[in-house]
Homo-oligomer: A and B are copies of this chain.
Amino acid sequence: MTIAAQMRTLAKDAKAASRKLASAEGGVRQQALLNLAGLLEQNAAAVFAANRKDLDAAQKNGLDSAKLDRLTISQGVLDSMVQGCREVAAMSDPVGEIEGMKKRPNGMLVGRMRVPLGVVAMIFESRPNAAVDAAVLCIKSGNAAILRGGSEAFHSIEALTALIHQALETAGLPRGCVQVPPTTDREAVSALLKLDEFIDVVIPRGGEGLIRAVVEQASMPVLKHYKGVCHTFVDESADLARAVVIIHNGKVQRPGTCNALECVLAHQAVAGKLLPQVAKKLGEAGVEFRCCPASLALMEPIAGVKAKAATQADWGCEFLNLTLAVKVVADLDEALEHIAQYGSNHTEAILTENYANALRFTREADASMVAVNASTRLNDGGELGLGAEVGISTTKLHAYGPMGVRELTSAKFVVLGQGQIRQ
């Protein structure tokens, strides 16, 4: 069988399984998730061992530190997968829920019933826990999933998928609900992206190159973000001690992620106080700075700090490592203009004690999450209360921000009439 024929069979099987999953009661789907949580805990050693194989190979192949970080299943990552399973299992079942049933003037009731999308294909690289996050949310929302990870995560995903299949079957659901192509050949991805008769949506997660390739080839809708160029604007009235903590968290806590901070915009009235503290605190954590002339003058003199003049390419750059761009701006207007020009509609934050500026920033900054006095790192399904997420969308259509259970469903109109006709 050719790879294209193999993928067609796999996608067709996923579609058939999706109908069974959609009509299964919520309690059954919930049980599959609780089974998975238990299996992950019981089989942690096997998961770590499989992940170790991938990490050894990756180190041999010279993957950079941000990629290694994303590939690693630490105890913390495993715990958060388990917690994700239980959190999502505990959520109310979205499928079949009817929202806002209202009575029309002609007496008929009109509401919207949540329904699964059908088959969701996930194309991702590096982060093997994305496979579990995706499977969990798809099962909860009644969607079949096709999971295609990067070849560097092959053993990790294989180990995780075996547990997912066991969890499904123990709950009485077909293992076909979650499909993993048995090959790491790139042709498999191209073949899947043409199968819009079976696959309802594709969600790519990874670097901009991967995502652009998926968008170009896909015949079905794509939910995605290209990159996360996240800014934090420190306003004149900001609490500066708190600002240093938030900026440190945004840049240092996990620099390889899309919601990591890439650029600080400092109000000119506080730059003189703020930026030397930022240079010192983040410099100690190994951060290097790309500065505008005004910020360079403030940061370069601090002992041990690596700061140099920013080039044009540093504005709007997704560094994904311990590099931070820094710019002094005249006011909120200039900050919003900079964000409009260089932002990626992903995450933008303002640090301020000024009420009007806080309100204006939330309204005018165009991003999937806008935050006041909080770290950009909080743009995450778990942190925002969705449970696990299958990715972050910056396209506005269907979903804008982290995509959880609700974003994996649609809503159809339900009319309960007593003989109503169109007049």
Contact = CB atoms under 8 A, between A and B. Distances in A.
A130 to B, nearest CB: 18
Given A245-B419, A249-B422, A373-B417, A410 B383 contact: no
Contacts of A246: 419, 421
A115 interface: yes
Interface string A374-390: 11011110011100000
A374 B413 CA distance: 13
26 contacts: A23-B364, A102-B385, A104-B384, A108-B374, A110-B384, A113-B370, A115-B396, A115-B400, A118-B396, A221-B397, A242-B419, A245-B421, A246-B419, A358-B416, A369-B412, A372-B416, A373-B419, A374-B416, A375-B421, A375-B422, A378-B422, A379-B413, A397-B397, A397-B398, A401-B411, A401-B412
Contacts of A362: 113, 414, 416
A60 B245 CA distance: 74
A402 B400 CA distance: 21
Contact of A396 (B117, B245, B250, B379): B117
A319 to B, nearest CB: 18
Interface in A11-30: 23
Interface string A178-203: 00000000000000000000001100
A374 B23 contact: no
Contacts of A102: 385
A384 B413 contact: yes
Interface in A343-393: 358, 362-364, 366-375, 377-380, 383-385
A41 interface: no
B374 A419 contact: yes
Contacts of A402: 413
Nearest to A384: B110
A182 B57 CA distance: 60
Contacts of A397: 117, 200-201, 221, 223, 397-398, 410
Contact of A378 (B112, B401, B415): B415
A334 interface: no
Contacts of A418: 373
Contacts of A379: 413
A413 B395 contact: no
A414 B370 contact: yes
A420 interface: yes
Given A362-B414, A370-B414, A384-B415, 19 more contacts: A104-B385, A110-B385, A113-B370, A201-B397, A242-B419, A368-B413, A369-B414, A370-B415, A371-B414, A373-B418, A373-B419, A374-B416, A374-B419, A377-B421, A378-B422, A380-B422, A384-B413, A400-B410, A401-B411
A241 to B, nearest CB: 9
A273 to B, nearest CB: 18
Contacts of A413: 368-370, 379, 384, 400-402
A253 interface: yes
A372 B417 contact: yes
A421 B241 CA distance: 13
A420 B374 CA distance: 5
A223 B413 CA distance: 17
Contacts of A411: 400-401
Contacts of A364: 23
Nearest to A348: B412
A160 B281 CA distance: 62
Nearest to A358: B416
A96 B239 contact: no
Contacts of A369: 412-415
A362 B367 CA distance: 37
